Chains A and B, each alone.
Chain A
Amino acid sequence: MTDTLYYQPKSVDEALQIKAELGAEGTFLAGGTDVVVGIRKGKLKVARTIDLSQVPGLDGIRRHDGFLEIGAMTTHKALEQHDVPAALAQSCETVGGPQIRYLGTVGGQIGTASPAGDVSVALIALKADVELRSAARGTRRLPLDEVFVGPGKTVIADDEMVTRVFVPLGRRSDFYKIGKRDAVAISLVMAAASVGPAGDVAIAIGCVAPVPLRIKRAEALLDARGLSDEAVDEAATIAREDCSPISDHRGGADYRRAMAGTLTKRLLSRLREVTPVKAKPAESSAEVA
Protein backbone atom coordinates (compact mmCIF):
# COMPACT_ATOMS: atom_id res chain seq x y z
CA MET A 1 0.00 0.00 0.00
CA THR A 2 1.48 3.31 -1.06
CA ASP A 3 0.85 6.53 0.78
CA THR A 4 -1.59 8.97 -0.77
CA LEU A 5 -2.50 12.57 -0.10
CA TYR A 6 -5.92 12.82 1.40
CA TYR A 7 -8.48 15.63 1.18
CA GLN A 8 -11.64 15.98 3.18
CA PRO A 9 -13.86 18.71 1.68
CA LYS A 10 -16.84 20.01 3.66
CA SER A 11 -19.08 21.02 0.76
CA VAL A 12 -19.88 20.01 -2.80
CA ASP A 13 -18.32 23.23 -4.09
CA GLU A 14 -15.11 22.60 -2.18
CA ALA A 15 -15.00 19.00 -3.42
CA LEU A 16 -15.43 20.17 -7.00
CA GLN A 17 -12.78 22.84 -6.53
CA ILE A 18 -10.27 20.27 -5.31
CA LYS A 19 -11.23 17.88 -8.08
CA ALA A 20 -10.80 20.60 -10.69
CA GLU A 21 -7.30 21.31 -9.40
CA LEU A 22 -6.25 17.65 -9.17
CA GLY A 23 -7.93 16.43 -12.34
CA ALA A 24 -7.21 12.79 -13.07
CA GLU A 25 -4.83 12.69 -10.08
CA GLY A 26 -7.75 12.97 -7.68
CA THR A 27 -9.95 9.98 -6.87
CA PHE A 28 -13.24 10.41 -5.03
CA LEU A 29 -13.68 8.19 -2.03
CA ALA A 30 -17.34 7.42 -1.36
CA GLY A 31 -18.02 4.18 0.57
CA GLY A 32 -14.50 2.94 -0.15
CA THR A 33 -15.62 -0.62 -0.88
CA ASP A 34 -13.81 -0.60 -4.22
CA VAL A 35 -11.24 2.20 -3.86
CA VAL A 36 -9.79 1.17 -0.49
CA VAL A 37 -9.64 -2.50 -1.46
CA GLY A 38 -8.02 -1.55 -4.77
CA ILE A 39 -5.39 0.57 -3.07
CA ARG A 40 -4.62 -2.10 -0.46
CA LYS A 41 -4.18 -4.75 -3.11
CA GLY A 42 -2.03 -2.48 -5.23
CA LYS A 43 -4.46 -2.82 -8.11
CA LEU A 44 -5.56 0.79 -8.03
CA LYS A 45 -2.99 3.57 -8.25
CA VAL A 46 -4.39 6.53 -6.42
CA ALA A 47 -2.27 9.66 -6.08
CA ARG A 48 -4.81 11.85 -4.25
CA THR A 49 -7.93 10.81 -2.36
CA ILE A 50 -10.92 13.14 -1.98
CA ASP A 51 -13.08 11.78 0.82
CA LEU A 52 -16.76 12.70 0.33
CA SER A 53 -17.98 11.39 3.67
CA GLN A 54 -18.10 14.87 5.26
CA VAL A 55 -19.90 16.56 2.36
CA PRO A 56 -23.51 17.34 3.35
CA GLY A 57 -26.40 17.03 0.93
CA LEU A 58 -25.04 14.26 -1.25
CA ASP A 59 -27.18 11.49 0.16
CA GLY A 60 -30.89 10.96 0.55
CA ILE A 61 -33.83 9.72 -1.49
CA ARG A 62 -36.86 11.80 -2.44
CA ARG A 63 -39.75 11.71 -4.85
CA HIS A 64 -40.01 14.73 -7.05
CA ASP A 65 -41.69 15.47 -10.32
CA GLY A 66 -42.25 11.86 -11.37
CA PHE A 67 -38.74 10.80 -10.44
CA LEU A 68 -37.02 9.19 -7.55
CA GLU A 69 -34.02 11.39 -6.86
CA ILE A 70 -31.19 9.50 -5.27
CA GLY A 71 -28.16 11.34 -3.90
CA ALA A 72 -24.83 9.94 -5.02
CA MET A 73 -23.73 9.10 -1.47
CA THR A 74 -26.87 7.08 -0.73
CA THR A 75 -25.83 3.61 0.42
CA HIS A 76 -27.14 0.31 -0.90
CA LYS A 77 -28.55 -0.37 2.53
CA ALA A 78 -30.53 2.88 2.54
CA LEU A 79 -32.02 2.02 -0.85
CA GLU A 80 -32.79 -1.51 0.28
CA GLN A 81 -34.77 -0.11 3.21
CA HIS A 82 -36.59 2.50 1.14
CA ASP A 83 -39.61 2.09 -1.11
CA VAL A 84 -37.79 1.94 -4.46
CA PRO A 85 -38.58 0.13 -7.73
CA ALA A 86 -38.31 -3.66 -7.46
CA ALA A 87 -35.25 -4.09 -9.69
CA LEU A 88 -33.35 -1.45 -7.74
CA ALA A 89 -34.28 -2.94 -4.38
CA GLN A 90 -33.33 -6.45 -5.49
CA SER A 91 -30.03 -5.34 -6.97
CA CYS A 92 -29.13 -3.53 -3.76
CA GLU A 93 -30.04 -6.58 -1.68
CA THR A 94 -27.61 -8.74 -3.61
CA VAL A 95 -24.60 -6.43 -3.55
CA GLY A 96 -21.89 -7.97 -1.36
CA GLY A 97 -22.83 -8.62 2.23
CA PRO A 98 -24.38 -6.35 4.87
CA GLN A 99 -21.03 -4.69 5.66
CA ILE A 100 -20.53 -3.70 2.03
CA ARG A 101 -24.12 -2.55 1.65
CA TYR A 102 -23.81 -0.23 4.66
CA LEU A 103 -20.81 1.47 3.07
CA GLY A 104 -21.11 1.19 -0.70
CA THR A 105 -22.92 4.01 -2.50
CA VAL A 106 -24.80 4.50 -5.74
CA GLY A 107 -22.40 7.20 -6.92
CA GLY A 108 -19.45 5.01 -6.07
CA GLN A 109 -20.90 2.15 -8.07
CA ILE A 110 -21.35 4.41 -11.10
CA GLY A 111 -17.85 5.87 -10.75
CA THR A 112 -16.30 2.40 -10.47
CA ALA A 113 -17.98 1.51 -13.77
CA SER A 114 -17.74 -2.25 -13.35
CA PRO A 115 -19.51 -4.35 -15.98
CA ALA A 116 -20.58 -6.43 -12.95
CA GLY A 117 -22.24 -3.50 -11.18
CA ASP A 118 -25.58 -4.92 -10.03
CA VAL A 119 -27.11 -1.56 -9.19
CA SER A 120 -25.91 0.06 -12.41
CA VAL A 121 -27.65 -2.65 -14.41
CA ALA A 122 -30.88 -2.18 -12.46
CA LEU A 123 -30.72 1.60 -12.90
CA ILE A 124 -30.09 1.34 -16.64
CA ALA A 125 -33.06 -0.99 -16.99
CA LEU A 126 -35.13 1.56 -15.09
CA LYS A 127 -34.10 4.21 -17.66
CA ALA A 128 -32.38 6.26 -14.99
CA ASP A 129 -30.50 9.48 -15.69
CA VAL A 130 -27.41 10.63 -13.88
CA GLU A 131 -26.50 14.18 -12.93
CA LEU A 132 -22.87 15.19 -13.23
CA ARG A 133 -21.50 18.42 -11.89
CA SER A 134 -18.33 20.42 -12.25
CA ALA A 135 -17.13 23.74 -10.83
CA ALA A 136 -16.55 25.18 -14.27
CA ARG A 137 -19.66 24.07 -16.16
CA GLY A 138 -22.31 23.41 -13.56
CA THR A 139 -24.55 20.36 -13.98
CA ARG A 140 -25.44 18.16 -16.90
CA ARG A 141 -27.82 15.23 -17.02
CA LEU A 142 -27.52 12.17 -19.25
CA PRO A 143 -28.91 8.63 -19.46
CA LEU A 144 -26.90 6.30 -17.27
CA ASP A 145 -26.19 3.83 -20.05
CA GLU A 146 -24.38 6.59 -21.91
CA VAL A 147 -22.01 7.10 -18.98
CA PHE A 148 -20.12 3.80 -19.28
CA VAL A 149 -17.56 3.29 -22.03
CA GLY A 150 -15.46 0.40 -20.74
CA PRO A 151 -14.41 -1.45 -17.58
CA GLY A 152 -13.61 1.35 -15.13
CA LYS A 153 -14.07 3.93 -17.88
CA THR A 154 -16.80 6.57 -18.10
CA VAL A 155 -17.57 9.84 -19.85
CA ILE A 156 -17.35 11.62 -16.51
CA ALA A 157 -14.80 14.41 -17.00
CA ASP A 158 -11.76 14.79 -14.77
CA ASP A 159 -13.33 17.78 -13.02
CA GLU A 160 -16.79 16.24 -12.60
CA MET A 161 -18.55 14.26 -9.92
CA VAL A 162 -21.77 12.24 -9.81
CA THR A 163 -24.27 14.16 -7.71
CA ARG A 164 -27.66 12.55 -8.27
CA VAL A 165 -29.47 9.75 -10.04
CA PHE A 166 -33.00 10.21 -11.37
CA VAL A 167 -35.17 7.11 -11.61
CA PRO A 168 -38.50 7.54 -13.42
CA LEU A 169 -41.39 6.34 -11.26
CA GLY A 170 -44.18 4.07 -12.35
CA ARG A 171 -42.15 1.40 -14.14
CA ARG A 172 -42.67 -2.25 -13.24
CA SER A 173 -39.30 -3.94 -12.99
CA ASP A 174 -37.49 -7.12 -12.07
CA PHE A 175 -33.90 -8.22 -11.53
CA TYR A 176 -32.12 -11.57 -11.53
CA LYS A 177 -28.57 -12.36 -10.50
CA ILE A 178 -26.53 -15.51 -10.99
CA GLY A 179 -23.60 -15.62 -8.62
CA LYS A 180 -21.31 -18.34 -7.37
CA ARG A 181 -23.17 -18.34 -4.08
CA ASP A 182 -26.15 -16.62 -2.53
CA ALA A 183 -24.33 -13.80 -0.74
CA VAL A 184 -21.10 -11.79 -1.01
CA ALA A 185 -20.59 -12.88 -4.58
CA ILE A 186 -19.57 -10.94 -7.65
CA SER A 187 -22.15 -11.60 -10.34
CA LEU A 188 -21.49 -14.20 -12.97
CA VAL A 189 -24.32 -12.78 -15.05
CA MET A 190 -27.17 -10.53 -14.00
CA ALA A 191 -29.97 -8.71 -15.73
CA ALA A 192 -32.80 -6.29 -15.12
CA ALA A 193 -35.80 -5.23 -17.13
CA SER A 194 -38.70 -2.84 -16.77
CA VAL A 195 -41.96 -1.92 -18.44
CA GLY A 196 -43.21 1.65 -18.38
CA PRO A 197 -46.80 2.86 -18.00
CA ALA A 198 -46.98 3.21 -21.78
CA GLY A 199 -45.70 -0.33 -22.28
CA ASP A 200 -42.18 0.66 -23.28
CA VAL A 201 -39.56 -1.88 -22.30
CA ALA A 202 -35.97 -1.52 -21.09
CA ILE A 203 -33.46 -4.33 -20.65
CA ALA A 204 -29.92 -4.29 -19.24
CA ILE A 205 -27.48 -7.13 -18.67
CA GLY A 206 -24.31 -7.22 -16.61
CA CYS A 207 -21.05 -9.19 -17.01
CA VAL A 208 -21.61 -9.86 -20.70
CA ALA A 209 -19.81 -6.86 -22.21
CA PRO A 210 -17.16 -4.30 -21.21
CA VAL A 211 -20.00 -2.16 -19.80
CA PRO A 212 -23.38 -2.83 -18.23
CA LEU A 213 -25.17 -3.50 -21.47
CA ARG A 214 -28.50 -2.04 -22.53
CA ILE A 215 -30.15 -4.16 -25.24
CA LYS A 216 -31.70 -1.39 -27.30
CA ARG A 217 -32.37 -3.52 -30.36
CA ALA A 218 -34.54 -5.83 -28.28
CA GLU A 219 -36.26 -2.89 -26.62
CA ALA A 220 -37.20 -1.45 -30.03
CA LEU A 221 -38.57 -4.79 -31.12
CA LEU A 222 -40.67 -5.18 -27.98
CA ASP A 223 -41.90 -1.59 -28.11
CA ALA A 224 -43.16 -2.35 -31.60
CA ARG A 225 -44.61 -5.80 -30.97
CA GLY A 226 -45.40 -6.01 -27.28
CA LEU A 227 -44.52 -8.87 -24.95
CA SER A 228 -45.85 -11.73 -27.04
CA ASP A 229 -44.18 -15.12 -26.70
CA GLU A 230 -42.58 -14.76 -30.10
CA ALA A 231 -41.35 -11.24 -29.43
CA VAL A 232 -39.89 -12.27 -26.08
CA ASP A 233 -38.07 -15.19 -27.72
CA GLU A 234 -36.70 -12.86 -30.36
CA ALA A 235 -35.62 -10.38 -27.71
CA ALA A 236 -33.75 -13.20 -25.95
CA THR A 237 -32.03 -14.09 -29.21
CA ILE A 238 -31.03 -10.47 -29.71
CA ALA A 239 -29.65 -10.32 -26.17
CA ARG A 240 -27.47 -13.33 -26.93
CA GLU A 241 -26.32 -11.79 -30.18
CA ASP A 242 -25.61 -8.32 -28.89
CA CYS A 243 -23.45 -9.25 -25.95
CA SER A 244 -19.72 -9.92 -26.06
CA PRO A 245 -18.84 -11.80 -22.89
CA ILE A 246 -15.38 -13.03 -21.90
CA SER A 247 -14.29 -16.24 -20.17
CA ASP A 248 -12.61 -15.82 -16.79
CA HIS A 249 -12.17 -17.82 -13.60
CA ARG A 250 -15.81 -17.16 -12.71
CA GLY A 251 -17.32 -18.60 -15.86
CA GLY A 252 -17.21 -19.17 -19.56
CA ALA A 253 -18.29 -16.82 -22.34
CA ASP A 254 -20.68 -19.43 -23.76
CA TYR A 255 -22.56 -19.71 -20.51
CA ARG A 256 -22.73 -15.97 -20.03
CA ARG A 257 -24.02 -15.48 -23.56
CA ALA A 258 -26.66 -18.16 -23.12
CA MET A 259 -27.74 -16.67 -19.81
CA ALA A 260 -28.08 -13.24 -21.40
CA GLY A 261 -30.90 -14.78 -23.43
CA THR A 262 -32.31 -16.92 -20.63
CA LEU A 263 -32.50 -14.05 -18.16
CA THR A 264 -33.96 -11.70 -20.75
CA LYS A 265 -36.73 -14.17 -21.41
CA ARG A 266 -37.29 -14.91 -17.75
CA LEU A 267 -37.54 -11.27 -16.73
CA LEU A 268 -39.82 -10.29 -19.60
CA SER A 269 -42.09 -13.26 -18.97
CA ARG A 270 -42.38 -12.28 -15.35
CA LEU A 271 -43.08 -8.67 -16.19
CA ARG A 272 -46.00 -9.84 -18.27
CA GLU A 273 -47.60 -11.16 -15.13
CA VAL A 274 -49.29 -8.65 -12.91
CA THR A 275 -48.06 -9.94 -9.60
CA PRO A 276 -44.39 -9.50 -8.79
CA VAL A 277 -42.44 -12.74 -8.68
CA LYS A 278 -39.62 -13.64 -6.35
CA ALA A 279 -36.21 -13.21 -7.85
CA LYS A 280 -34.64 -16.41 -6.62
CA PRO A 281 -35.92 -19.99 -6.78
CA ALA A 282 -38.40 -20.53 -3.98
CA GLU A 283 -36.84 -22.53 -1.23
CA SER A 284 -37.79 -25.89 0.15
CA SER A 285 -40.51 -26.16 2.71
CA ALA A 286 -37.82 -27.47 5.01
CA GLU A 287 -35.73 -24.33 4.66
CA VAL A 288 -35.19 -22.35 7.80
CA ALA A 289 -36.52 -18.85 7.22
Chain B
Amino acid sequence: MRKTVFIGLLVCLVTLSVPCRAQRGVFLTPEQFHQQAFAGQGENQILWLDGDQLQQAQRILGHRFPGIRTRYVAGGTRTAWIFDEIGKTHPITIGVVVEASEIVQVKILEYRESRGGEVRYDSFTRQFIGGSLIEKQPEPKLDATIDGITGATLSVRAVKKVATLALYFHSLTPVAYSDTLAEGSLP
Protein backbone atom coordinates (compact mmCIF):
# COMPACT_ATOMS: atom_id res chain seq x y z
CA MET B 1 0.00 0.00 0.00
CA ARG B 2 2.76 2.40 1.02
CA LYS B 3 4.70 1.61 -2.15
CA THR B 4 1.64 2.32 -4.27
CA VAL B 5 1.16 5.68 -2.60
CA PHE B 6 4.84 6.46 -3.08
CA ILE B 7 4.84 5.58 -6.80
CA GLY B 8 1.57 7.45 -7.29
CA LEU B 9 3.04 10.51 -5.64
CA LEU B 10 6.10 10.29 -7.87
CA VAL B 11 4.01 10.11 -11.04
CA CYS B 12 2.02 13.15 -9.86
CA LEU B 13 5.22 15.09 -9.22
CA VAL B 14 6.67 14.35 -12.65
CA THR B 15 3.36 15.28 -14.30
CA LEU B 16 3.03 18.48 -12.31
CA SER B 17 6.57 19.54 -13.11
CA VAL B 18 6.20 19.55 -16.89
CA PRO B 19 5.77 23.36 -17.08
CA CYS B 20 8.89 23.89 -14.96
CA ARG B 21 11.83 25.41 -16.83
CA ALA B 22 14.93 23.23 -17.15
CA GLN B 23 17.38 23.63 -14.29
CA ARG B 24 20.34 22.33 -16.27
CA GLY B 25 21.35 22.51 -19.91
CA VAL B 26 21.76 25.11 -22.65
CA PHE B 27 19.29 27.98 -22.28
CA LEU B 28 20.73 30.31 -24.89
CA THR B 29 23.41 29.88 -27.57
CA PRO B 30 26.13 32.55 -27.93
CA GLU B 31 24.62 33.47 -31.32
CA GLN B 32 21.18 34.01 -29.76
CA PHE B 33 22.71 36.01 -26.93
CA HIS B 34 24.56 38.30 -29.39
CA GLN B 35 21.50 38.60 -31.59
CA GLN B 36 19.46 39.76 -28.59
CA ALA B 37 22.14 42.24 -27.56
CA PHE B 38 22.95 43.76 -30.98
CA ALA B 39 20.19 42.73 -33.38
CA GLY B 40 22.87 41.51 -35.79
CA GLN B 41 24.86 44.75 -35.71
CA GLY B 42 27.70 43.59 -33.47
CA GLU B 43 31.23 42.91 -34.64
CA ASN B 44 33.64 40.31 -33.28
CA GLN B 45 36.62 41.86 -31.55
CA ILE B 46 39.66 40.68 -29.66
CA LEU B 47 41.02 42.28 -26.50
CA TRP B 48 44.68 41.51 -25.87
CA LEU B 49 45.69 41.57 -22.22
CA ASP B 50 49.04 42.69 -20.86
CA GLY B 51 50.64 41.44 -17.66
CA ASP B 52 49.00 43.99 -15.35
CA GLN B 53 45.57 43.42 -16.89
CA LEU B 54 45.91 39.64 -16.53
CA GLN B 55 46.90 40.13 -12.90
CA GLN B 56 43.85 42.32 -12.29
CA ALA B 57 41.63 39.71 -13.96
CA GLN B 58 43.16 37.08 -11.68
CA ARG B 59 42.34 39.17 -8.62
CA ILE B 60 38.73 39.58 -9.73
CA LEU B 61 38.25 35.87 -10.48
CA GLY B 62 40.33 34.55 -7.61
CA HIS B 63 42.21 32.37 -10.07
CA ARG B 64 44.27 32.74 -13.26
CA PHE B 65 42.47 34.08 -16.30
CA PRO B 66 42.66 31.47 -19.07
CA GLY B 67 44.61 32.89 -22.02
CA ILE B 68 46.25 36.16 -22.94
CA ARG B 69 43.35 37.65 -24.86
CA THR B 70 39.59 37.46 -24.90
CA ARG B 71 36.96 37.75 -27.57
CA TYR B 72 33.98 40.01 -27.33
CA VAL B 73 31.35 41.56 -29.55
CA ALA B 74 31.04 45.32 -29.89
CA GLY B 75 28.37 47.46 -31.47
CA GLY B 76 27.83 51.15 -30.87
CA THR B 77 28.55 51.82 -27.22
CA ARG B 78 27.87 48.23 -26.20
CA THR B 79 30.12 45.27 -25.60
CA ALA B 80 29.05 41.69 -24.90
CA TRP B 81 31.13 39.10 -23.09
CA ILE B 82 30.76 35.37 -22.55
CA PHE B 83 32.80 33.52 -19.94
CA ASP B 84 32.78 30.09 -18.33
CA GLU B 85 33.22 30.17 -14.57
CA ILE B 86 33.08 27.20 -12.21
CA GLY B 87 30.34 27.29 -9.58
CA LYS B 88 30.86 24.32 -7.31
CA THR B 89 32.32 21.72 -9.63
CA HIS B 90 31.13 22.60 -13.15
CA PRO B 91 31.54 25.67 -15.37
CA ILE B 92 28.57 27.99 -15.77
CA THR B 93 28.45 29.83 -19.12
CA ILE B 94 27.53 33.43 -18.37
CA GLY B 95 26.86 36.30 -20.79
CA VAL B 96 27.12 39.95 -19.81
CA VAL B 97 26.23 43.04 -21.88
CA VAL B 98 27.84 46.33 -20.86
CA GLU B 99 26.91 49.78 -22.13
CA ALA B 100 28.40 53.09 -21.02
CA SER B 101 30.26 51.27 -18.23
CA GLU B 102 27.08 49.80 -16.77
CA ILE B 103 25.64 46.30 -16.99
CA VAL B 104 22.50 46.18 -19.09
CA GLN B 105 22.03 42.40 -19.14
CA VAL B 106 23.23 39.19 -17.47
CA LYS B 107 22.17 35.84 -18.88
CA ILE B 108 23.03 32.27 -17.93
CA LEU B 109 23.66 30.59 -21.28
CA GLU B 110 24.40 27.12 -19.89
CA TYR B 111 24.16 25.65 -16.39
CA ARG B 112 25.80 22.32 -15.65
CA GLU B 113 25.67 21.98 -11.85
CA SER B 114 23.10 19.60 -10.40
CA ARG B 115 21.92 22.25 -7.90
CA GLY B 116 21.69 26.03 -7.86
CA GLY B 117 19.96 26.49 -11.24
CA GLU B 118 17.97 29.33 -9.66
CA VAL B 119 20.76 31.70 -10.74
CA ARG B 120 19.24 31.64 -14.23
CA TYR B 121 15.96 33.15 -13.06
CA ASP B 122 15.32 36.75 -14.08
CA SER B 123 14.57 37.59 -10.44
CA PHE B 124 18.24 36.91 -9.75
CA THR B 125 19.97 38.19 -12.90
CA ARG B 126 18.07 41.50 -13.10
CA GLN B 127 19.73 42.57 -9.85
CA PHE B 128 22.90 43.14 -11.90
CA ILE B 129 21.32 45.72 -14.24
CA GLY B 130 22.85 49.15 -13.65
CA GLY B 131 25.82 47.62 -11.85
CA SER B 132 29.11 49.38 -12.45
CA LEU B 133 32.73 49.10 -11.45
CA ILE B 134 33.93 50.81 -8.31
CA GLU B 135 37.65 51.45 -8.04
CA LYS B 136 39.05 49.74 -4.97
CA GLN B 137 42.40 48.33 -3.98
CA PRO B 138 43.74 45.87 -4.83
CA GLU B 139 41.04 45.13 -7.43
CA PRO B 140 37.88 46.89 -8.66
CA LYS B 141 34.56 45.74 -7.18
CA LEU B 142 31.03 45.39 -8.49
CA ASP B 143 28.90 48.30 -7.31
CA ALA B 144 25.53 46.55 -6.98
CA THR B 145 23.59 44.87 -4.20
CA ILE B 146 23.07 41.23 -5.09
CA ASP B 147 20.92 39.03 -2.86
CA GLY B 148 22.05 35.43 -3.16
CA ILE B 149 20.31 32.11 -3.55
CA THR B 150 20.55 29.95 -0.45
CA GLY B 151 22.23 26.67 -1.18
CA ALA B 152 23.77 28.11 -4.36
CA THR B 153 26.40 30.37 -2.81
CA LEU B 154 29.17 29.27 -5.15
CA SER B 155 27.07 29.72 -8.30
CA VAL B 156 26.04 33.20 -7.14
CA ARG B 157 29.67 34.04 -6.47
CA ALA B 158 30.63 32.84 -9.98
CA VAL B 159 28.04 35.13 -11.63
CA LYS B 160 29.22 38.11 -9.56
CA LYS B 161 32.84 37.47 -10.55
CA VAL B 162 31.99 37.28 -14.24
CA ALA B 163 29.88 40.45 -14.09
CA THR B 164 32.81 42.28 -12.47
CA LEU B 165 35.26 40.91 -15.03
CA ALA B 166 33.04 41.98 -17.95
CA LEU B 167 32.88 45.53 -16.58
CA TYR B 168 36.65 45.59 -16.14
CA PHE B 169 37.35 44.27 -19.64
CA HIS B 170 34.83 46.72 -21.10
CA SER B 171 36.83 49.53 -19.51
CA LEU B 172 39.87 48.38 -21.54
CA THR B 173 38.16 48.48 -24.93
CA PRO B 174 38.17 51.32 -27.48
CA VAL B 175 34.40 51.57 -26.89
CA ALA B 176 34.97 52.60 -23.27
CA TYR B 177 37.75 54.96 -24.34
CA SER B 178 35.50 56.78 -26.81
CA ASP B 179 32.78 56.91 -24.11
CA THR B 180 35.24 58.62 -21.82
CA LEU B 181 36.27 61.06 -24.53
CA ALA B 182 32.64 61.87 -25.25
CA GLU B 183 32.09 62.62 -21.59
CA GLY B 184 35.11 64.89 -21.70
CA SER B 185 36.58 63.55 -18.54
CA LEU B 186 40.00 62.95 -20.01
CA PRO B 187 42.52 65.76 -19.77
**A complexed with B:** no
